[in-house]
Structure 1
């Protein structure tokens, strides 16, 4: 149990709250849901994220060992061994595939596509500054997966929500990478700040979040949701503004508040907004 606790700390298990609400929203928008589906989606999402995060730590092991910001993570410190991380990854993959199989055939088939993105996104920063977009696309699987898991088919309208997630995560990942600008520049790690400079990177991150907001509004429009969801959307817009104000390029100490707190609030606000939008008649 002590070792499991260390592994869960390594992958920031509590951050599952970022992705889970969007799988649930995808399920809600499908109009096909029950307790069994909800439980299986939860298991699938948590295990999928565990695969992605553990592989990220394994793949970035050497980079993390050199980076002053990450050298105290569990793998570089030796608190968690590589073989233990690999074992946890294999177990998580098995749980993910079993839960997808128990949901429906299409979910099972598409689970291998999801795995491809979960496994490969950690490599992208080694060869392209588009790594932030690739991460956003990977996280955008959450609402698509939630919809398919519940409905057994894929609706094109759910891609609006997926695009919101892609640009939201991609935009924030650009901001988050500002912390490692000097290290990445010296060590050949690709990112938008390295490619275009921190100032342009902040502008692009803001543009990403503006585009994300548009796709969020489009999601609400095409699914004909009530005004509660729009109230939630504008609260999210306000939180995104606060997020950008917190990220001062001269002092990045507050970036973790933007990441841990603001993004958690965004996820919670949206799941509440979509629940009200789906179940409250006005």
Structure 2
């Protein structure tokens, strides 16, 4: 491998690291599950949506562009905060690995790419109309911890928009005109919101002292690590309850016994996640955060897809 290739590969790795591309595995499976459900449930008119490669490409591009824009914006607005925090001082902007100007350009390009994808690839104009408000809400999360401890919930709601947006992109005005058609994606969105809120609180426990000293708002800074972990457990109990509701709400899409059976696995994974983290023992937060959450999202996608497509 020559030096040019190494340099190109290194630069790509820097950009993927900037936006934590590996963490796409948290939100993307739920967008994919919503896609499967939306294509397998009959429309209020009695028809089944037509599956087109162009639609799938548009959904994928929108997910990648929107998430990349929001993550890059987060790194821009948090650059000074990250530089002061020993845990985050090595991130790409405070460490000088990437320049601020090029990250600004990257954020702008991803934002334009997201809006353009809704226009060029998706089958109706609802995603285009909603694209700017959605993008503003996604990016707004990065500012939330400056004024509210509910920043974790903001992130949860931000990620929960993906199944709703996917559903409307595929099923269009018919879905809006028939509110009952929106029950399944709304319940799925609530599952995502409760799940993300809980695990983001766990992740934020690492910065409880720094946030408190810096005047930043977070559940751990406000209630302490022990209190924050209790709130995270409650959030995940709500998530498990909503998953049971989703089994009922998703019957029209084909959710059934496999999805119901995987609930037990998800419950065990949630219990394991909370067993890995205790007050004064935060060295396994990353393991609890990444490995467990990846397993949960992929298990739900696999089970839901099997039910909807093959059973």
| Bin of the TM-score, shorter chain as denominator length | over 0.9
Q: Out of 6-15 and 82-91, give the one that drifted further.
A: 6-15
* Deviation for aligned residue 1:156: 2.4
Q: Quick one: distance in 2 between partners of 1:112 and 1:26?
A: 21
Single out whichever of 176-185 and 5-14 deviates more from structure 2.
5-14
Distance 2:150 2:63 in 1: 24
**1:211-230 equivalence runs, <5 A:** 211-224=238-251, 225-230=255-260
Preserved contact between residue 27 and residue 149 of structure 1 (Cα < 8 Å): no
1:85 aligned residue: 103
| Aligned: 1:48 with 2:96 | no
Aligned-partner SS, 1:19: helix
Q: Which residue of 2 aligns with 1:164?
A: 191
Q: CA deviation at 1:278?
A: 0.4
- Across the aligned residues of Structure 1 and Structure 2, the Cα RMSD in angstroms comes to 1.2
**Aligned residues, how many?**
281
Displacement of 1:5 in angstroms is 2.8
Deviation at 1:14, TM superposition (A): 1.7
Contact preservation (8 Å) 2:226, 2:278:
no
Aligned residue for 1:107?
Answer: 127
Q: Which runs of 5+ in 1 are unaligned?
A: none
Of the three residues 17, 21, 27, the one matched with 2:25 is 17
Shift of 1:191: 0.6
Residue of structure 1 equivalent to 2:219: 192
Question: Hey, what's the Cα distance between the residues in 1 that align with 2:132 and 2:171?
Answer: 18
Instruction: Quote how far apart the aligned CAs of 1:43 are.
Output: 0.9
User: Does structure 1 residue 127 correspond to structure 2 residue 147?
Assistant: yes
Give the Cα separation in 2 of the matches to 1:111 and 1:277: 31
Within the candidate set 147, 154, 157, 1:137 is matched to: 157
Deviates more, 1:37-46 or 1:60-69: 37-46
User: Tell me, which stretches of 5 or more residues in structure 2 are unaligned?
Assistant: 1-7, 40-48, 176-180
* Most deviating of 60-69 and 259-268: 259-268
- Tell me by how many angstroms 1:84 deviates: 0.8
Could you tell me which of 60, 69, 83 is aligned with 2:78? Answer: 60
Residues 3 and 80 in structure 1, CA contact (< 8 A), matched pair in contact too: no
Alpha-carbon contact 1:136-1:168 (below 8 Å) kept? yes
- Rounded to whole Å, the distance in 2 between the matches of 1:73 and 1:198 is 24
Report the counterpart of residue 228 of structure 2 in structure 1: 201
Shift of 1:113: 2.1
TM-score, structure 2 normalization: 0.87
Name the stretch that deviates more: 110-119 or 64-73: 110-119
Task: Tell me which residue corresponds to 1:236.
Answer: 266
* Counterpart for residue 261 of structure 1: 291
Q: Distance in 2 between matches of 1:75 and 1:108?
A: 31
Counterpart contact for 1:47–1:93, Cα < 8 Å: yes
Q: Which has the larger radius of gyration?
A: 2
- Asked if residue 149 in structure 1 is aligned to residue 174 in structure 2, the reply is no
Partner of 2:14: 6
Match of 1:248 in 2: 278
Deviation at 1:173, TM superposition (A): 0.7
Separation (CA, whole Å) in 1 of partners of 2:55 and 2:259: 23
> What TM-score do you get using the length of structure 1 for normalisation?
0.96
Runs of 4+ aligned structure 1 residues displaced above 4 Å come to none
| Aligned-partner Cα distance in 1 for 2:248–2:152 | 27
Q: CA deviation at 1:145?
A: 1.5
